[in-house]
Each structure stands twice: as structure tokens, then as C-alpha cells.
Amino acid sequence: MKALILAAGKGTRLRPITDYVPKPMVPVHGKPLLEWVLLHLMFYGVREYVIAVSHLAEQVENYFGDGKRWEVRIEYSYGPEPAGRAGEIWRARNLLREEEAFLVAPGDTISHLDYREFMDFHAEHGGPVSLALSTRYRLEVGFAEVDHHNRVRKFREKTNLGRPVSTGDYMLSKDIFPYIERLGPDGKALDLPADVFPLLLEEEVPLYGYVRDFAWWDIGRISDYEELTRTPMQEAGQILYWHPVALPGYQFQQGRMDH
């Protein structure tokens, strides 16, 4: 099974860093963020990748090449501008069409999702789309419960939302391509949740939600990025690569992955 890694965005929330380095290539404890993402996917047996690139694409390709250093195969899907999640899938269609199903994963998110179980879930349900949904999402603001007299009865500060939230990981069957094509994807940006999923729901095409309580970190804001880079490696290793079993060619030791 192939995985499409979305790494084409400009990372505007991480500027000025991303004026010179694409967001998936920002350094995190000695490795580009995207390498940590790939290591996690490799642990679950994914060996074939398509990386969607645009902004400063040459930096991604120069570092990862064809993937032989990691004993995987990497291909690239290019575009002059980012095209949105659905648009990037459409751009990469010729590299994905032979797959009955493929994984879509963000290149800027560390997720403790069990990808093998997620793949099995998609195969069991047989629909065109499965979404990875985590119930572990911490609100960035407090919220209040207010009665009809406008009195605050309860206030919770930055609590866990406790409801399924999309982490940006999807399992898609090749049946998704005709739906994207109907939206006229050439030359414009298209999103999955905002554009394609409403079309599927309108036509009562089933979307399945894989709901689990797993941690995930969207490294999309400068504050989140700086917090992770300041975290001691011993602690950060439990976020970046927490598996007790090392991959071939790597040695896992005290929160580090050495190649």
C-alpha cells in the first residue's frame, strides 16, 4: 500500500522559518519533521510513498531522494502552488491509480495513530473514505456553561474536548477520484473536508470514522514548534518515536533514533 504525504504547503504560520525551509523540513531534535513522520509510518510496514511537494520542493527531494537510505521507495508529485488536500490527491492520481486503497497523511503532524489498525478498519468497512478521528484534543481556550440568566455555572480552562476530531489522516479507495474530478480540480485548490466530503454526504456515500483516543501534534504554529524543540530529548522521544522496537538500520536508545 502506498502513502501520499502532503508536504506542499507554504507553512505561513511558521514564518519567517518557512520563508527559507519548507514546513515538513523544519529541524526537530536532529531530524526534519517529515523524517519523524516517515519513521512512524515505516514502523507500521508502509514502504511506498508519494510525497506531494511545491514550496521549496528541492529541499525535500534533495534530502529524501528515492528513499533507499530508509529501505523504502519514494516518488514525488509536483505543482507550482499548493493545491489543497483533494487537489494534491488529484495531482498524484497517476502515481496512485493502481492502488485499490491508499493512505493520506500530513507531513507536518506527529500522530500516535495505529496505522495498521486504521488500514484494517478501512478494508473491513469497504467505503471510499475512512477518517482518523481522535478524542484527545485539548482546547486552546477555556469555555463556560451559561444559564438562561446569563450566570456562568461552570468554567473549564483548556480542557480536553472529548469529541472526535479529524487529525488529517485518511484512508481512501480509488473510487474517490471521480468525485474529485467532478469538482473541476485542474488549476484550482480543492480540500477534502470542505469540498469533497460534502459532495459525498449529499449523495449519501458512506464516510467511516475510525475513532480512537490517541495523541497527535500539529506542528503548524511557531509556539507549538518552539515548545517541541525546547523539550528535552528524553521526553521528546516519547512524542517523536515511542515504539519499543527499532526499525532496520536504526538504533533506539533513551528517546533517540540513530541511523
Q: Which domains, and CATH codes, for the chain?
A: 2-135+163-258 (3.90.550.10)
Q: What is the pTM of this model?
A: 0.83
Q: For residue range 185-241, what is the model confidence (pLDDT) as tens digits?
A: 888 889 999 999 999 999 999 999 999 988 877 776 677 777 777 777 777 667 776
Per-position DSSP letters for 163-202, written without gaps between them: S-EEEEEEEEETTHHHHHHHT--TTS---IIIIIHHHHHH
Read off the pLDDT band of 153 (50, 70, 90): low
- Across residues 244-257, what is the average pLDDT? 47
Residue 245 has what pLDDT? 47
Phi and psi for 126 in degrees, rounded to 5? Answer: 75, 10
Among 156, 146, 204, smallest CA distance to 179 is for 204
Please tell me which residue, 78 or 257, carries the higher pLDDT value: 78
233: CB partners within 8 A, 6+ apart: 29, 255, 256
- Assigned C-alpha cell, 49: 510513498
